[in-house]
Structure 1
């Protein structure tokens, strides 16, 4: 069993659950956590997980980069290089996963923690959750994909409001803005998020992976290229075992039992 220092990992019912486990620091991010997240995501795929659930231990999802821990050794002079080395590869890895991602958010999802939450295909938030991009308050810019994620979900005006004012966006408002999927009571958060992950894990996994990629591409790709991509994906999806099962289930008027193949 692989041991981790900053996260916990479990794999059950085809769902890989990755829990940020620095509760004493509100799950603030250190480079080790990013490396372990990357390793856990790769492990999930290698082990045949069909969905990923990312959660935070304690009263917060993630408070962002741990500036206190970083200050012990000093922040790097080139913050851009830090992003290119640690954060950006993980963002790309999340975007390119062949399986869906659910994030369960309680309390603070701030800075890079906000970005991590919003990288989920489905963001389930407890009523205590809030989303915060306060980089402007320390003279920095949002990172880890935040500008793309928020602008694409909420639009230019809301993205600028959130980033230039550096104020909290409570869960209910984030839902109104189209940033997240659902708001639930805090005590039901993990149950609801896991149920959604289990439901996704029971779906046609290969088709879902292609849908993830196609939707991400459609946000920045001309229609003619999207149409070409859809044709390629549909050809591949049409050759899967899950497609054959889906058709037989439809004809037989029963629920499909997808295998992920």
Structure 2
């Protein structure tokens, strides 16, 4: 299918602007928002987040009847850009930290509240804050061998896993949160209820576009109310209330002495070495002495 450049879309008003860190592709009934920092593992920088929010808002009134989100390059996204959102500050401000975290949650709630169906297509890796984007998408397709999970370093808490809980249940959400660099593959994501379908990576985009073409046969106003009705049921179960609480939990832990100690250690050993250390399996236990209780 031919990709129509964003500046040629005249279906409903002014064309979309040229973005730097995302790319817009109109492909028949679906308009793709493509995370486009492949040299940075599509890490969610402040500029990319602002562009994403701007495009999402504009696509409420232009583009195809279905919106897709995918990543350019080797993976969907490695999560929030640690160079911008992970560095400690000289004088921590918990209120400002909470407000910053809440703004990001509001970005993902805008997917939840968007008038159009939104489908996420995940390949390669989808880590930490990038999983929040998929949690609030209406449908999620994943490559079978995709790696989906928590941040590699425990620098926060209560920000990722609680948003998974309505999809996968509390016990699985806790397992993900408690294990260093906890992650699941695409097939497990479907089995847990985090995603709808797991497919070979080579088929991922085609399968999403095939489904988008079927969805687009339903009138847009009908789709909007169908989406709203399901979301109302989930809101009644507390999804939005839970989402509103995660910034406070994360901001609280950012001031913890334990997190400050980990940050200091990262500064000493370097980011790559720190990540490798947390991903390393624990040392094997020594053999038990005869008579020890198993």
- TM-score under structure 2 length normalisation: 0.68
Corresponding residue of 2:196: 181
Larger Rg: 2
Change (3 A) 1:74 1:28: farther
Structure-to-structure mapping, 1:3-152, within 5 angstroms: 3-47=18-62, 49-70=64-85, 77=93, 78-85=96-103, 87-134=104-151, 137-143=153-159, 147-148=162-163, 150-152=164-166
Q: How many correspondences in the alignment?
A: 218
Question: For the residues of structure 2 that align with 1:74 and 1:194, how far apart are their CA atoms?
Answer: 44
> After superposition, what is the alpha-carbon deviation per residue over 1:134-185, rounded to whole angstroms, capped at 9, x for unaligned?
37x4231243x7523x111111111111112241111111111111011111
SS of aligned partner of 1:104: strand
Change (3 A) 1:147 1:89: same
Which residue of 193, 210, 217 maps to 2:232?
217
Change (3 A) 1:67 1:139: closer
Structure-to-structure mapping, 1:162-177, within 5 angstroms: 162-166=176-180, 167-177=182-192
Question: For the residues of structure 2 that align with 1:44 and 1:162, how far apart are their CA atoms?
Answer: 33
Q: How far off is 1:215 after superposition? A: 1.4
Corresponding residue of 2:278: none
SS of aligned partner of 1:8: strand
Question: For the residues of structure 1 that align with 2:88 and 2:216, how far apart are their CA atoms?
Answer: 41
| Preserved contact between residue 133 and residue 142 of structure 1 (Cα < 8 Å) | no
Corresponding residue of 1:234: none
Unaligned 5+ segments in structure 2 are 1-6, 8-16, 238-294
| Preserved contact between residue 119 and residue 137 of structure 2 (Cα < 8 Å) | yes
| Preserved contact between residue 68 and residue 118 of structure 2 (Cα < 8 Å) | yes
Please report the RMSD computed on the Cα atoms of aligned residues, expressed in angstroms. Answer: 2.2
- TM-score under structure 1 length normalisation: 0.76
> After superposition, what is the alpha-carbon deviation per residue over 1:235-261, rounded to whole angstroms, capped at 9, x for unaligned?
xxxxxxxxxxxxxxxxxxxxxxxxxxx
> After superposition, what is the alpha-carbon deviation per residue over 1:24-57, rounded to whole angstroms, capped at 9, x for unaligned?
1110001111111111112212115311010000
Change (3 A) 1:106 1:142: farther
